[in-house]
Amino acid sequence: MTARTHDLAALTALGAVVIFEPLRAMTLSTVLAALLANQIGGIAPDIDQPTAPLWHNLPAGKFFGKAFDKTMGGHRFLTHSILGLALFGFLVHLLLVFIQPLIPHVNTGLVWWAYMIGMLSHLIMDSFTKEGVPWFLPIPAKLGVPPKKAWRITTGGAIESFIVFPGLIVVDIWLVVSHYSHLLILVHNYIY
């Protein structure tokens, strides 16, 4: 899937979790940091692609992108597996613990969850594409839904652009409209 679909899917997944989980109080800083972490998590697995947006925007990004690609075993490898999810989850946890003194008003535990929800949504979304996802590395088999490759969608193709992406927007609108009073309570009483 393309980066914009991944970011929308990450936001949709986060929204669904917020709506279906019991409400909890959090600071506005936590909300903003969680949204940012969620969007980063949504595209993080694709840093194994030398063409990833991150590498485009960095000086000497092409070089580092290629080097990183090799380290991670090429596209759709370590970063697209449960092992990679655990590894990145651990590294992000360490990073959050390290920067916590700089951001005392942020609940980094919630930020971590927002990151993980974004990253997990990436693996789920990529499972619907032809390439599949090596979920159970070091077992290298790339799995997908549906299991038959020909029935899966092409990254950046018409089905992604005209069905998956608009479909996610419809899901988001439905989530907001059908849980509107719940969201209002969240905004009014739980965010400070």
Residues engaged in binding Zn ion (CB under 5 A): 45-46, 126
The least distance separating Zn ion from the CB of residue 26, rounded to whole angstroms, comes to: 29
Q: Which residue shows structure tokens 């209002």?
A: 184
Q: Look up residue 110 and give its amino acid.
A: L
Nearer to Zn ion, 15 or 84 (CB): 84
Query: Whose Cβ is closer to Zn ion: residue 85's or residue 110's?
Result: 85
Closest C-alpha to 173, from 18, 15, 2, 34: 15
Q: Which is nearer to Zn ion, 126 or 160 (CB)?
A: 126
- Cα 77 from chain centroid (whole Å): 16
Q: Measured from the CB atom, is 46 or 160 closer to Zn ion?
A: 46
- Report d(CA 36, CA 19) in Å as an integer: 18
Token digits of residue 4 = 């914009």
